[in-house]
Amino acid sequence: MRAYDFGPQHPLKPVRLERTVAVLNAVLDGELECISPRNATASEIGQVHDDELIEIVQAMSQGEDVSPEDRFAFGFSSHDTPPFLGMWEACLPYCGAAIEAAERVNAGAKRAFNIAGGLHHAQRHKSSGFCVFNDCALSIVTLKQKFERVMYIDIDLHHGDGVEFIFDDDPDVLTFSIHETGRTLYPGTGFVQDEGFAGTAFNLPLEPMSTGDTWLLGFSEIAPRIIDWFKPGAIVLQCGCDAHRSDPLGHLNCAVQDWLGAVKLVHDLDIPMVVCGGGGYDLANVPRMWSAAFLAASGLDVPEFIPETIPKDWGMTTFRDTTPNPEEWVGRKEMEDAVAQLKSRLR
């Protein structure tokens, strides 16, 4: 999974995966069951992506010449999702993990975590936003082999556009995404009125600079109502942690405890669930937030302090933020307006 690497200048750092596993191993003292996933196959990936995209990824992976027009058409650009040698092979483990995690849940596991997953921007016909293939969608199609209705919940800073669009004509897959508004942030989509063809897309966009109190209240006001209405048999929870106030890519101001409140809320509903990673670009945050999410989604206590065995230069001392956000309620009015629209849709 470390091989999924766009290079040293790129904000997506594979080392965040290793550090998360190190923190979890330190907390759980060897009790962590870590499964090496199998590679996904091209036909499995073809369940949610067009053959043309798979073929172009394979070609660029081998260093074949691909025209600039085709690169652009399939979503590859030098600064955002730059193609690299071995890219196809680098995608197969996280896609395989998405399928295997869902298979474990289909077989009766309450939780399975795909730590390298959460690449929610990839669309059926193109890669996008650091995401070559959409593992979230692969987990969903696999869960659908067992469960009639599957819900996708996305707490990443960015709109989960790829997952929404892949399933937007499927009434048995509901997508809910809370994110910074597309007016100010990539990918520029996910507005409150966007329902999808089947009417099963729900979006709660927040204003830039919205604080964690607004974020968690918005999530708590609408997510349980949607879940109660849709009654999913299984959930895929995308845990991008880039809504944190220190993340360099956006303009939301969540503390760890705000964001973790959403994970706990979903955990408490006791629905079988695949949990995956997602965005997160502050290396001093991602390992502690994902470890905390893993623990909370497993019903385990999140300790106060990062274990002493973790190197100090990783920049983490506590799991939660020690300076809580002041109660500012930035963006509350816009959030409440959006939640009111979503509630009236549910009615």
Q: Does 157 bind Zn ion (CB under 5 A)?
A: yes
Shortest spacing between CB 195 and Zn ion, in angstroms: 22
Which span sits near Zn ion by CB under 5 A: 2-10, 87-95, 158-166, 318-326?
Answer: 158-166
Per-residue string for binding with Zn ion, 261-290, x by CB under 5 A? ------------------x-----------
Stretch that binds Zn ion, among 105-113, 137-145, 149-157, 323-331 (CB under 5 A): 149-157
x/- track of binding to Zn ion for residues 228-247 (CB under 5 A): ------------x-x-----
Quote the tokens at residue 265: 């809320």
**The pair of three-digit structure tokens given for residue 170, joined into one six-digit string:** 């499927």
Counting every residue, how long is the chain? Answer: 347
| CB of 16 or CB of 158, closer to Zn ion | 158
Q: Is there a contact between 150 and 144 (Cβ–Cβ < 8 Å)?
A: yes
State how far the Cα of 75 lies from the Cα of 129, in Å rounded to an integer.
Answer: 8
Q: How far is the CB of 232 from Zn ion (least distance, A)?
A: 23
Q: Which stretch binds Zn ion (CB under 5 A): 22-30, 85-93, 152-160, 263-271?
A: 152-160
Q: Which is nearer to Zn ion, 157 or 296 (CB)?
A: 157
From the candidates 49, 121, 158, 159, give the one annotated as an active-site residue. 121
- Whichever of 170 and 242 has its CB closer to Zn ion, that residue is 242
Q: Which is nearer to Zn ion, 182 or 272 (CB)?
A: 182
Question: Cβ closer to Zn ion: 68 or 248?
Answer: 248
Closest-by-Cβ residue to Zn ion is 279
Bridge partners, 174 (sequence order) = 151
The residue count for binding Zn ion (CB under 5 A) is 6
Phi first, then psi: give them for residue 177, nearest 5 degrees. Answer: -130, 130
Looking at the chain, the number of H-run helices and the number of E-run strands are: 11, 6
Strand order in the sheet with 150-154: 111-114, 273-276, 234-238, 150-154, 173-180, 201-206
Contact (CB, 8 A) for 190 and 203: yes
Residue 95 backbone dihedrals phi, psi, to 5 degrees: -70, -40
Least distance to Zn ion from the beta carbon of 279, Å?
A: 3
121 part of the active site = yes
What distance lies between CA 13 and its chain's CA centroid?
Answer: 15
178 binds Zn ion, rule: CB under 5 A: no
CA distances from 69 to 66, 122, 273 (A): 8, 18, 39
- Lookup result for tokens 């048995």: 172
**Would you please indicate which residues are annotated as catalytic (active-site) residues?**
121
Name the site residues for Zn ion (rule: CB under 5 A).
156-158, 240, 242, 279
